């Protein structure tokens, strides 16, 4: 708490949830043309509660302490609000198992590299299966990933060699999702890495990609249609 705050002057403290604050800020922008942030939303939400108690013949002054400029990718992003449970989505939730079931038979087994594999071995797996990245798994747990683009750049700059161990050129781990989960928006999960590992009881059991999600939609919406893998 700032030292300038004198609690003796405070008559009441109203607790406002993040959800109420964010939704009120969005309502201010939509209905009043006021582009404010989450703190402003909280202030207005609290003021409305006080107004309901005081009645229509009283005037309430509310200070809006922030702008919405810094919240474009959060409060004012439907995608972010849905992902974090602040907005309900009309989209269907897709069971991860259904996405896995829609995968072509030839890619139903888990493809992954081990930290001690040589880089050329991992690249061979990627080339044979037409994939651009692999999770790196040790003892059933993902410890990182390797990406075709990253490896290409390192080879071009002589920062890596094909004989190196995979653990020496690790990239960040792929996103993970539990096999029992349902995904509200799978393309949001996959947008950065284009792939995610599927975990069951803490162990990596499969991997899903954007192509797998497309296969799922095609099979659901166009049953009987063949999808090129």
> Are residues 131 and 217 part of one domain?
yes
Residue 35 is part of a domain; what is its CATH number? 3.40.50.1100
pLDDT given at position 34: 93
Split into its structural domains, the chain has a count of 2
How far apart CA 144 and CA 149 sit, in angstroms, is 15
Half-sphere exposure of 174 (CA within 13 A, CB side): 30
Residue range(s) defining the domain that contains residue 74: 13-83
> Are residues 141 and 164 part of one domain?
yes
Q: Three-state SS string across 184-224, please?
A: CCHHHHHCCCCEEEEEECCEEEEEEEHHHHHHHHHHHHCCC
> Are residues 167 and 126 part of one domain?
yes
pLDDT given at position 229: 45
> Are residues 213 and 161 part of one domain?
yes
> Are residues 124 and 32 part of one domain?
no
> Are residues 72 and 185 part of one domain?
no
Identify the domain boundary among 83, 114, 143.
83
Q: Is residue 4 a part of any domain in this protein?
A: no
Q: Is residue 8 a part of any domain in this protein?
A: no
Q: Is residue 3 a part of any domain in this protein?
A: no
Identify the domain boundary among 35, 56, 83.
83
How far apart CA 59 and CA 51 sit, in angstroms, is 8
Query: Could you tell me where the beta strands, DSSP code E, fall in the chain?
Result: 94-95, 133-138, 141-147, 176-178, 182-183, 195-200, 203-209
> Are residues 210 and 130 part of one domain?
yes
Per-residue pLDDT of the chain (229 residues; tens, 9 = 90+): 778 888 889 999 999 999 999 999 999 999 999 999 999 999 999 999 999 999 888 999 999 999 999 999 899 988 788 878 788 766 667 899 999 888 876 555 688 999 999 999 999 998 887 788 899 999 999 999 999 888 989 999 999 999 999 999 999 999 999 999 888 767 777 777 788 999 999 899 998 888 888 888 877 755 555 544 4
pLDDT given at position 92: 67
């Amino acid at each position: 708490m700032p030292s300038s705050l004198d609690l003796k002057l405070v008559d009441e403290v109203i607790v406002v949830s993040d959800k109420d604050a964010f939704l009120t800020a969005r309502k201010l922008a939509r209905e009043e043309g006021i582009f404010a942030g989450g703190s402003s939303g909280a202030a207005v939400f609290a003021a409305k509660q006080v107004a309901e108690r005081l009645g229509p013949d009283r005037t309430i002054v509310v200070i809006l302490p922030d702008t919405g400029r810094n919240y474009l990718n959060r409060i004012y992003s439907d995608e972010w609000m849905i992902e974090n449970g602040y907005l309900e989505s009309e989209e269907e939730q897709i069971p991860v198992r259904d996405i896995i079931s829609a995968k072509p038979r030839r890619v139903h087994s888990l493809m992954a590299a081990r930290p001690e594999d040589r880089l050329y071995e991992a690249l061979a797996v990627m080339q044979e299966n037409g994939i651009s990245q692999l999770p790196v798994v040790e003892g059933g747990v993902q410890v990182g990933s390797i990406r075709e683009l990253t490896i290409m750049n390192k080879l071009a700059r002589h920062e890596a060699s094909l004989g190196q161990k995979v653990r020496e050129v690790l990239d960040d781990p792929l996103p993970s999702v539990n096999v029992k989960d349902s995904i509200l928006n799978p393309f949001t999960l996959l947008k950065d890495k284009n792939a995610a590992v599927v975990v069951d009881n803490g162990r990596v059991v499969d991997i899903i990609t954007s192509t797998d999600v497309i296969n799922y939609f095609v099979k659901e919406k166009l049953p009987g249609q063949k999808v090129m893998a």
